[in-house]
Amino acid sequence: MENPGFNLSLFCIGLLHLIPKHTSSFPDIIPRQTGSMVHFKTLFAAVLSLSVATCNPIDKRDAALVLTDLTAVGSALTTLTASVNAYTGGLLGAITISTDGTNLDTAINKATTDANASAAFTAAQSTSVTSSIGSLTPQIQATLTALINKEPLFDASALDPLVLSQLNTLLADSDKLGVALQAKAVAADVVTLKSYQSTIDTSFAFAIAVFS
């Protein structure tokens, strides 16, 4: 016969159901508490506290996950740039580009969420994250340059407003990611990260001006 094992979720639910029922009824059920009963209640409370803590773990991220997220951002940039370079005009190709842009923004936002939830980076982790942003910066510039080069085709299809909207969204979310990473990096790397962010912002500003 298969052993059902210990189901932590059901155990937690069972304990939580006991809180309002039995803890409040101890005085009514037991009029006179002996030393053993006091010890039992103390032990019960300790087990309950431990179990509740186990049932509600803190969702903590780390630098390794952030680095994985930044790699995903790089992959999304590569895909978007390829789609833009292949664009020959019209709505169909623009839909592909818009989808790729949305996927890029999703990757950026995930990196921001995980960075905000991470503990402060160690010196080695901070160096790795800074290096990753250093690699992403020229990728972002390449994507924006590709978009600028295709602007006449977007304009011919009256799609400049669509591109402009996504550019503004990507700029805002890129800045949020920059702030999140700077908050976790060591002081020596913050200056470098700010420099990269300034370069990225300048490139976005130029592209936004072209499509405005």
Counting residues of the chain whose pLDDT is more than 70, the rounded percentage is: 72
Residue with tokens 């924006």: 144
Out of 44-48, 128-132, 135-139, 142-146, least confident range: 44-48
pLDDT in tens, 6-46: 444 444 444 444 444 444 444 443 445 555 444 444 444 44
* Domain boundaries defined on the chain: 8-55, 63-211
What does the alpha-carbon distance between residue 77 and residue 142 come to, in Å, rounded to a whole number? 9
CB atoms within 10 A of CB 95: 12
pLDDT in tens, 172-204: 999 999 999 999 999 999 999 999 999 999 999
Structure tokens at 202: 């300048």
pLDDT at 110 > cutoff 60: yes
What is the model's pTM? 0.73
- Residue 54 CB contacts under 8 Å (≥ 6 apart), including other chains: 8, 12
What pLDDT sits at residue 59? 52
